[in-house]
Amino acid sequence: MKLAIITGLSCSGKSVALHTLEDEGYYCIDNLPVFLLPALAGELVKRHDKRFQLVAISIDSRNTPTEFESISTLLQPLKAEKIRFEVIFLEAQDETLIKRFSETRRRHPLTGGARPLAEAISYERELMAPFLNVADIRIDTSQTTLHELRHLIRSRITERLDTKISLLVQSFGFKQGVPRDADFVYDARCLPNPHWQPALRQLTGKDEAVQAFLGASNDVKHYQADLAQFLEQWIPRFETEGRSYLTIAIGCTGGQHRSVYLVEQLAIHFRAHGRQIQTRHRDLPREEKAPN
């Protein structure tokens, strides 16, 4: 049995993630009390039922602090039974969550009594911290569209090869903030900026003219080579430690030229070396709204 445990902050996209896994053939259970997790997983394994070969469970903040604090202990029986499981933690910035609650007119599950929304979000973040500490995948949906979140869930959970670490390399613009879910963050603002070339300003790092401009720079070549060498050296160490996922973020000023180019080049490099890699360009134009 393969078990995906979806958890995180309210309005961060947990329902979207669970529905995506359901579409991929997972048997889904919503809002499971956390103390039932070991018993449920053990019972499903004993049944040897094909329906339960792929199972996804969502757990929200409506549990006691003591139950959340004991999550590491609650996961031990799953490890003892050699159940393949992954904890996926979804979150977003406070201002994003407040905006989503306002747009959807949903009530936060922790706003009982006189607690305002901002305090409820802060309390929930504190309450869910033990889950974040054991998460295999951390996804910040602050600037993620519905389509992108569905794609991330499919590529990082349902399509991943179990034998190798899964790499997500994403570009971003420092103007829009650093991704909260990155394991490594690299700053490419020291490289030549195509923005100052009028003919390249409206293009992106995916366009041939921008690629030619950046590819002709020795600084860009050295930066790219050093970055690839560093990752080649240390990715195997993460695999040795049992990591299944690694998120690498490369930023430039606006997330349009330099970071996009480097992400595309790294993807070509690692795919040629047999690595499983997904790319994401966070700050390039998108059409869909963010997940609720």
Cite the annotated binding site for GTP by residue number.
60-63
139: part of which helix (H) or strand (E)?
Answer: strand 137-140
Tell me the CA distances in angstroms from 66 to 3, 61, 74, one per residue in order. 23, 12, 12
Residue ranges of the annotated binding site are 60-63
Closest CA to 139 of 180, 99, 176, 171: 180
